[in-house]
Structure 1
Amino acid sequence: MRRLSASVVSLVTLAVAALWWFVPGGYPYGAASRVTVGFNHWIERDVGVGLLVASGVLGVLLTLGIRSRPKLVGVGAAAQSVFFLLVMSDASVLSSIGYLLVPVVFLAVGALVVVGCVRRRPVAYVTAVLLLTGLVLGLTTTDVISRYLTNLAVGFGVYGGRIAWSWVMAAITVGWAWLAYGSFTHERGTANPRWGKTVTILTACCGVPYALARLSWVTPWPLGGYDPRTGHIEFLVSANIDAATRLQGFTIGMGSVLSVVLTLGLISRWGEVFPRWVPRVGGRPVPVVLAVGPGLFATVVLCVSAPGVLAGAVQSGSALDGVLFVLLFPCPVWGPLMGAALLAYSRRRSAPPRESARVPAKIRPSS
């Protein structure tokens, strides 16, 4: 299985290199690209093709040595993963996830409000009032929503190809990382780490600055973010931005709020047992894979985006812009913290009962 995976990743790498070489206009990186959130912005086509050819050839050699020298292959796979992580990947995967989460946020909020109102939950009533307020203020009119969807379509039309290549590089990164992990992993205990709660809270805090900045777009004082057209962080956005843009910022901010809430679920009771008010599954244990699966996906996205965030900070207009950029997108620490929080959660959920709770039958007092 590992040999097949290594072969596939290597052949995909060589195929991408061949495509970039024979179709010069298909090369997505370099100074001509308008996306600067990655070190690949400094890699021109000839160098990029050469790097991928070298990586593909090395991958073929590693494939041939998987059975005879598994540890050496593990080192090579780790080096390949680091190369694609630091050099070829970028933060476009993170931005695309943020925009794709918008319909998920709409559906999730709507479903929770309906269920909460039926179950007579005060929070649901408050949320319903806020949504009605948005209708009154004109944030969710038909015209605003249509212009908002048009903005999203135009954005993906312009950057869709570039984002797709970022996902290809991210997939190759994960492929080599998985092979490296399989070469060195071994069974470990399932002790309950004491640092799990602290790490989880820190992880949740990483998403707060961006959430606050985006949610402020429905106030008279909208805080800004990274502007790819100028490469600068605009702290205070013009108060005259249209309602569609305000709605766009608000929904992306709600996605960040959702990530914060779900992260805190790793140390909350409802992260282990479904709340009673949830239809059908209320009161049942939360499957570990239901929390760890999406969390691992988020961890990979954050780690892959980390070098691009640093590159974006370096290319910002000033030191202050760079600091604000990393504050809004703290992927270099967010990804590792998320991985640690998931590790603590999975170990706690899979840990056996405490020995003190086990009383052997032969020493139990007779009734």
Structure 2
Amino acid sequence: MDETGTPRREQGTWWSRWPVWSAWPAALWSLLYGAAGVYWAAGGGGYPFAQVAEERASASLLEPSRAAVAGPVIAAVGAAGAVAGVLMALGRGRGRRRTALLAFAWANAVTLALVLPDYSLLGLLAFSPLLVVFAFTGVPGPQDGIGDILYWHRGNLIILFVGGLLWGAAALAYQRRTRGVCAHCGRGRHAAARWATPEAARRWGRWAVWTAVLSSVPYDVTRLAWYAGWPLGITREFLDDMRSTPYMLEIGLGLGVLSTAGGLLTHGLVGRWGEVWPRWVLRKAGRRVHPATAIVPASVVALVLVPGGLMNLRHMDWELWATNGPGVFWALWGVALGAATLAYYLRRRGRCVRCGRG
């Protein structure tokens, strides 16, 4: 390991060396999407934020917009990202330049992954088992196939989300490498901050878990009420319209049950059964739960909840407050779940195999 905490290139697998190469994919992503911006600005087809029919639209912050206006901005940001990514990959930048690169990288990550997308990522995650079935059996109802669900405007949001994840990894790696701490675990030569100790993480992690659990309650209650025939937060006519649409109320109830189950699983981030498999889990009872088993899915859910919550906030209908109002709490749910996952990571991480600290 070198003096900045960066692993030497000959150590470990390609994946374990992510702090070394993570800025390169971010730079390439920006270059390619910036080139797409040039193409759209020049009148090319496929502009993903244009006004389209309602059934093919997304609720992205950029939709609807004109390619002649947004295209040059996309191109400029993409070009800046390509340059910034290369500089970060090479470890350049000190003082104000480092601050500027970090600000750009984190702003890119937050905007692409959390601000620009809508609820589509959350919906795809929730319905992913059904989508696998539909790929073989066809989509029931008036849809003409999977293409009517995963159309281009939604597919583009997935591309933006991936770009945000790439920029988040690049920003984190560059921030650690240029601070002189271990690029893998973030530990430095001095003792960890008080809030990052396992004891402190357990305390504030409990608050984060309870916040996450309570944030899902408004959505669960309203969907259960609708299924029971109570127009909570909506009009009776709106409820009758949903009743006349096949499986609409059943889908809402299923999503509410799924949300409740997710809240119960969140307790594993502070409970004993989140560290040791309980007795009722066949073949794994009593064994240690690998941290990634909880961290990876919890992180994914936290990330897709936030843009869904922000979208509901932008489209809030006060007359029918229960249609979007409970979904606003998804943003809080995502932040709290992310904090709970961080606390779990801080408690479960062992000695770093790269720097030996911990």
Q: Same fold (TM over 0.5)?
A: yes
Q: 1:55 maps to which residue?
A: 77
Offset, 1:55? 1.1
Q: Determine if contact 2:40/2:46 at 8 Å carries over to the other structure.
A: yes
Q: 1:346 maps to which residue?
A: 345
Judged with a 3 Å threshold, the aligned counterparts in structure 2 of structure 1 residues 23 and 204 are, in CA distance, closer, same or farther, namely: farther
Judged with a 3 Å threshold, the aligned counterparts in structure 2 of structure 1 residues 6 and 233 are, in CA distance, closer, same or farther, namely: farther
Offset, 1:212? 3.1
Does the residue aligned with 1:28 lie in a helix, a strand or coil?
coil
Distance 2:146 2:231 in 1: 24
Distance 1:293 1:246 in 2: 31
Q: 1:334 maps to which residue?
A: 333
Offset, 1:38? 2.9
Deviations 1:28-84 (A, max 9, x none): 224446346332124322222122101111012213422221624222212322443
Alignment map for 1:274-293 (pairs within 5 Å): 274-293=277-296
Judged with a 3 Å threshold, the aligned counterparts in structure 2 of structure 1 residues 252 and 55 are, in CA distance, closer, same or farther, namely: same
Does the residue aligned with 1:29 lie in a helix, a strand or coil?
coil
TM-score (norm 1): 0.70
Identity of aligned residues (%): 26
Q: 1:27 maps to which residue?
A: 47
Aligned residues: CA RMSD: 3.4
Do structure 1's residue 182 and structure 2's residue 202 form an aligned pair?
Answer: no
Equivalent position to 1:209, from 186, 205, 218: 218
TM-score (norm 2): 0.71
Q: Determine if contact 2:242/2:249 at 8 Å carries over to the other structure.
A: no
Q: Determine if contact 1:214/1:224 at 8 Å carries over to the other structure.
A: no
Structure 2's unaligned 5+ residue stretches are: 1-20, 177-185, 352-358
Deviations 1:163-213 (A, max 9, x none): 211111111122112211222243245332212112101101222222333
Distance 1:332 1:240 in 2: 29
Deviations 1:305-348 (A, max 9, x none): 343233222xx4xx344675132342332221111111122223
Q: Determine if contact 2:23/2:169 at 8 Å carries over to the other structure.
A: no
Q: Determine if contact 2:26/2:163 at 8 Å carries over to the other structure.
A: no
Judged with a 3 Å threshold, the aligned counterparts in structure 2 of structure 1 residues 65 and 153 are, in CA distance, closer, same or farther, namely: same
Offset, 1:276? 0.7
Do structure 1's residue 91 and structure 2's residue 111 form an aligned pair?
Answer: no
Does the residue aligned with 2:63 lie in a helix, a strand or coil?
helix
Offset, 1:17? 2.0
Judged with a 3 Å threshold, the aligned counterparts in structure 2 of structure 1 residues 21 and 343 are, in CA distance, closer, same or farther, namely: same
Deviations 1:87-138 (A, max 9, x none): 633232222223225579x9xxxxxxxxxxxxxxxxxxxxxxxxxxxxxxxx
Q: 2:18 maps to which residue?
A: none
Letter of the aligned partner of 1:37 in structure 2? A
Deviations 1:213-261 (A, max 9, x none): 3344543447688xxxxxx998745474355334333332332222112
Name which one, 1 or 2, has greater alpha-carbon Rg: 1
Equivalent position to 1:17, from 10, 31, 37: 37
Q: 2:297 maps to which residue?
A: 294
Offset, 1:302? 1.9
Distance 2:255 2:164 in 1: 27
Offset, 1:3? 3.9
Do structure 1's residue 158 and structure 2's residue 165 form an aligned pair?
Answer: no
Does the residue aligned with 2:80 lie in a helix, a strand or coil?
helix
Distance 1:341 1:87 in 2: 21
Q: 1:124 maps to which residue?
A: none
Equivalent position to 1:312, from 311, 315, 318: 315
Q: Relative contact order: is structure 1 or structure 2 higher (C-alpha 8 Å, sep ≥ 6)?
A: 1
Distance 1:152 1:277 in 2: 42
Distance 2:43 2:232 in 1: 41
Letter of the aligned partner of 1:333 in structure 2? L
Greater fraction of residues in helix: 1
Structure 1's unaligned 5+ residue stretches are: 107-145, 226-231, 353-367
Distance 2:336 2:160 in 1: 23
Aligned residues: 301
